[in-house]
Structure 1
Amino acid sequence: MIKQVLFIQGGGNDGYEADAELAASLQQALGNDYEVIYPEMQTDDAAPDFGWLRQIGREIAKLGDDIILVAHSLGASLLLKYLSENKTAKKTAGVFLIATPFWNGKQEWMQGLKLQPGFAGKLPENSRFFFYQCRDDEEVPFDHLAIYRNNLPGASFREIESGGHQLNNDLHLVAKDIKNL
C-alpha cells in the first residue's frame, strides 16, 4: 500500500514554485512506495495566520491513518501551530519540519503565527518529530533550532552544515528518516 506524505510549502510570493523542487526531491528519494501530496497554500492577507491553518486542516482530513507530514519554513511553523492547537482523529506517524522559524516578535503581523505557551505538551502523542536546519540558512536564523530543541527534547534534530534555506533542494536526509519510521 502506498504511504501518503503531505508536504506543506514555505511562504513568500513564490513559495509554492520554490518548494516544488523540494517536494519533487522528496518524491524521488522516497520512491514508488510513497505519494507526496503537494497542495498550493492560498494566502489570505486579512487572516492572522494567512488562512493556512484552515487549509492545513482540510488537507490533513483528506489523508488516511498513519499520516506523514512534511513542511518547510513558514509552512513548518504553521503546521506545528496547527498540530498544537487542533486535535486530529488520525494517527500521525511522523512530522518533518525543515527550516522552521520560531516567531517571537511583537509586530502585529506576527501574532497569528506564534505558538501558544506550552505548545509542546499539546502536540499529538506518540508522534515523532524531526527538525532540519542548515547552518548557512539565509532566511531562518540557525539559533531557532535551539529554541525548538529546548521545547521538544524528545524530537530528533538534524544540523546540516550547508545547503541554505532550501537544503540545496535535496531532501534525501528527510526521506531516509521517513523510511526509518
Structure 2
Amino acid sequence: MNKTILFIHSAGPQGPNQGSSNLINYLEQELENSYQIIHPQMPAPEDPKYDQWKHQLEKELSLLNGEAILIGHSLGGSVLLKYLSEHSCKLTIRGLFILASPYWGLDEEWQLADFMLQHHFADKLPSIANIFLYHSRNEKIVPFAHHQAYAKKLPQAAARQIDGDRHLFHDGLAVLVDDIKGL
C-alpha cells in the first residue's frame, strides 16, 4: 500500500509551470511507486485568507487515515504550522516538511496577522518525530532569515540550507526526496 503525502501549495497562480506545480510534478515522478501525493486546490491562492485555507486543510486531513506525510511549500508551510499548533489532529504525522515558508510577523514586510503563529507555537505542535525545514540561502522571495527563525523555534528539526536562490524549486529538490524516502 502506498504511503500518503498531503502537499499544501504556495500562494499565487497555480496553473501549469506556476507556483508549486512543477515541484509537485517532480515529487510525483520521483516517488510514484511508493507514495500517493494529494495536492488539493486551496481557496483563492492569489488572495489567500487563513480561515479559508484552514477549512480546506481540515477537510483534507479528515479524509486521511493512519500515517501521513505533510509537506507545506511557502504559504502552505505557514498554514500547516499554524493549523497544527492551534488545532488537534488525530492523524499520525510521519514527517512534516516545510519549504521556503515565511515566518509571518518576523519583519515589516511579512505582516499578515491572520497567518501569524502564536508566540509558543512550537510547544503546541503535536508529537512529530520528523520535522524538516528547507530554504535557499540567497532566496529573493522569502528571506533566509525566516528559515533561521523557524530553525531557532524548532531546534529538533533538520534544517536544510539550499545553495542558490530558488523559492519555487521548479526543477525539483533531491534532498527532499531523499529525506522522505529516509523516513
Q: TM-score, normalised by structure 1?
A: 0.91
1:58-110 Cα offsets, whole Å, 9 max, x none, are 11111121110011101111111111111111110001110010001579971
Query: In the aligned structure 2, how far is the partner of 1:101 from the partner of 1:109?
Result: 10
Give the aligned partner of residue 60 of structure 1: 61
Give the aligned partner of residue 40 of structure 2: 39
Q: State whether residues 9 and 16 of structure 1, in contact with CA within 8 Å, keep that contact through their aligned partners in structure 2.
A: no
Query: In the aligned structure 2, how far is the partner of 1:47 from the partner of 1:137?
Result: 22
Q: What is the CA distance between 1:31 and its match in structure 2? A: 2.7
Query: RMSD of the alignment, in Å?
Result: 2.2
Q: 1:132 to 1:96 in 2, by over 3 A?
A: same
Give the aligned partner of residue 180 of structure 1: 182
The gaps in structure 1 that reach 5 residues or longer are: none
Q: 1:120 to 1:108 in 2, by over 3 A?
A: closer
1:165 aligns with 2:156: no
Q: 1:107 to 1:130 in 2, by over 3 A?
A: closer
The gaps in structure 2 that reach 5 residues or longer are: none
Give the aligned partner of residue 113 of structure 1: 115
Query: In the aligned structure 2, how far is the partner of 1:47 from the partner of 1:141?
Result: 20
Query: In the aligned structure 2, how far is the partner of 1:146 from the partner of 1:108?
Result: 15
Q: Map residues 7-22 of structure 1 onto 2, 5 A cutoff.
A: 7-12=7-12, 14-15=13-14, 17=16, 18=18, 19-22=20-23
The SS at the match of 1:169 is: coil
Q: State whether residues 120 and 152 of structure 1, in contact with CA within 8 Å, keep that contact through their aligned partners in structure 2.
A: yes
Q: What is the CA distance between 1:158 and its match in structure 2? A: 0.5
Q: What is the CA distance between 1:20 and its match in structure 2? A: 1.2
Q: State whether residues 104 and 110 of structure 2, in contact with CA within 8 Å, keep that contact through their aligned partners in structure 1.
A: no
Q: TM-score, normalised by structure 2?
A: 0.90
The SS at the match of 2:25 is: helix
Give the aligned partner of residue 91 of structure 1: 92
Q: State whether residues 26 and 172 of structure 1, in contact with CA within 8 Å, keep that contact through their aligned partners in structure 2.
A: no
Give the aligned partner of residue 74 of structure 2: 73
**Aligned residues with identical type, % of pairs:** 36
